[in-house]
Every structure is written in structure tokens, then in C-alpha cells.
């Protein structure tokens, strides 16, 4: 049964969530430990056609990611935008165990002269991007851990990023309850296996929850979503959700992203 009170007790406010995440960073990366909470920093380079795409990808692969790994940033995923509101664009996500972990990582990075040189190199031939956007998300209690792909592991062809905006924070609680109360289980039966679920902590269009799904390709994606929509358990769950909380999803932003060959999440 959907348990809205449990959600509200767990997530009374964004400030409490921030405080909980701001404690001392553990020895290991929480994002790889089942049941742990973590932060996702999602950065977008809005690019212009021409040399900016190759320049941004080359810089991320050759300069940025080696330094992020050197200074113990979490797994980094890098994606180009195949379907979305602004093409061309490059999206990358960085994972942190906590706000304290993020601050420590950036303190290490900015103290390294190589990082200053890398930033200067990014702009040596002119503007590296049209705009830069950044969003900070906090994983939900039911989000799976994020880990880098193993060298011999099957990689995915596309990732679908879905962002659900809710009218109120109370209705975000109902949305959490719906996912945790049965929707995720129906996802898995349908072949839909998101790599994370997270609420926006700092960013636009709050309150909202985002999740990201890997697929081998568009055909698999279409089959999975068709199976999900036709599941009678999903239809009952949605009807109950609307009855109890109203239309808890006001708008949906949907993008299809393609992982780069050097992405640690692919």
C-alpha cells in the first residue's frame, strides 16, 4: 500500500535532506553501496554546430575525466543528446557520496595546477560551449546504487532521461509512494531498469523527480514501454494514485542520450 506518511516523515523538507547528506564522507563511495544515499551532479554543455562538439568531447575524455579520477570523483557518465530540446549538447553526470564529499573533491581538484591548465585549454580556440547548465540531485531512498561499467560488460546503446514535475511537494511524496509501492516492480517485469531515481535539490522546475533508463536501442525501448502501459497492475496503480493524490505528474521532460565510448556509465 502507498505510504505517504512515511515519505513525508523521511523527506520533510529539502533542507533536511541537504543536512543529512552533508555529513562526513565515508571511506567508500556511497553511490556503489546498496541502500546508500548519494548526490548526482548533472552538467550540460549547450553547443553550437561546428567544432564545439568534438572539442567538448575531446576535452572531457583527455583532460577532465583523468583529473576527476585522480582526485577521486565518483563514476562519470558522458552522453550526447539524440532526442531533446537542444541539439547539439553534451551531458555529463558526476556522482558524490555527500555534499561534504563533493566539497572535498573540488578542493583537491582546484588545488591542482593541472586543472587550471585544463580549463584554459578548453577555451584556447574560443568559446567552448554556448551555455553551461548544472543541476544537483539527491537520490531517493529507493534508488539503486550507481557503479561504473565493467570492461567486459554489455554496454547500452541509449539512455532515456525522464523528469517528472509535480504540482506540490506533497504530491512529490505521492509520486515517491507510487514508485516504491509497485511501479518499480512493474518496470522490472516490463524490461525497464533505471540506474537511478533522484529529486532535484538545486535546479529548475521544482519539485521534480528524475530517473534514467538504459536500453540496447530504440526497438527495445518501444517494446518495454508498450509492455508497461498494457500491464493491468500499472493501470490499477495509476488509478489509485490519481484517486488519492490527484494528477501528481504535471509535466514530463523526456530526452534520449547516447553514451560516449569513454563514458564510465554506458
pLDDT digits (tens, 9 = 90+) for 152-208: 666 779 999 999 999 999 999 999 999 999 999 999 999 999 999 999 999 999 999
Question: Residue 45, exposed/middle/buried by CB under 10 A (0-12, 13-18, 19+)?
Answer: buried
pLDDT of residue 50: 87
Is 264 contained in some domain? no
Domain assignment present for 94: yes
Residue 51 scores a pLDDT above 60: yes
Q: Which domain holds residue 117?
A: 4-258
Which pTM does this prediction carry?
0.85
Mean pLDDT over 239-257 rounds to: 94
Q: What is the CATH number of the domain that holds 61?
A: 3.30.70.100
State the total domains in the chain: 1
Q: Would you state the pLDDT for residue 148? A: 83
Residue 263 belongs to some domain of the structure = no
Predicted confidence band of residue 32 (pLDDT cuts 50, 70, 90): low
Give the per-residue pLDDT at 187.
98
What does the pLDDT look like over 76-119, one tens digit per residue? 999 999 999 999 999 999 999 999 999 999 999 999 999 999 99
Amino acid at each position: 500500500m502507498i505510504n505517504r506518511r512515511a515519505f513525508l516523515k523521511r523527506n520533510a523538507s529539502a533542507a533536511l535532506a541537504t543536512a543529512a547528506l552533508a555529513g562526513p564522507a565515508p571511506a567508500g563511495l556511497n553511490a556503489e553501496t546498496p541502500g546508500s544515499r548519494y548526490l548526482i551532479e548533472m552538467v550540460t554543455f549547450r553547443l553550437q554546430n561546428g567544432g564545439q562538439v568534438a572539442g567538448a568531447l575531446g576535452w572531457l575524455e583527455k583532460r577532465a575525466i583523468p583529473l576527476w579520477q585522480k582526485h577521486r570523483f565518483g563514476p562519470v557518465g558522458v552522453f550526447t543528446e539524440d532526442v531533446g530540446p537542444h541539439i547539439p549538447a553534451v551531458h555529463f553526470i558526476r556522482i558524490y557520496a555527500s555534499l561534504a564529499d563533493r566539497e572535498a573533491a573540488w578542493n583537491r581538484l582546484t588545488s591542482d595546477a593541472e586543472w587550471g591548465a585544463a580549463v584554459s585549454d578548453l577555451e584556447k580556440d574560443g568559446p567552448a560551449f554556448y551555455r553551461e547548465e548544472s543541476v544537483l540531485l539527491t537520490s531517493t531512498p529507493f534508488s539503486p546504487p550507481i557503479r561504473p561499467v565493467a570492461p567486459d560488460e554489455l554496454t547500452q546503446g541509449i539512455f532515456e532521461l525522464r523528469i517528472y514535475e509535480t504540482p506540490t511537494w506533497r504530491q512529490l511524496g505521492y509520486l515517491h509512494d507510487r514508485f516504491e509501492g509497485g511501479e518499480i516492480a512493474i518496470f522490472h517485469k516490463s524490461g525497464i531498469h533505471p540506474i537511478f531515481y533522484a529529486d532535484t535539490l538545486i535546479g529548475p522546475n521544482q519539485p521534480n523527480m528524475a530517473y534514467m533508463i538504459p536500453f540496447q536501442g530504440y526497438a527495445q525501448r518501444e517494446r518495454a514501454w508498450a509492455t508497461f502501459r498494457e500491464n493491468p497492475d500499472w493501470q490499477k496503480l495509476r488509478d489509485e494514485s490519481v484517486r488519492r493524490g490527484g494528477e501528481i505528474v504535471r509535466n514530463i521532460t523526456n530526452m534520449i542520450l547516447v553514451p560516449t565510448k569513454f563514458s564510465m556509465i554506458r
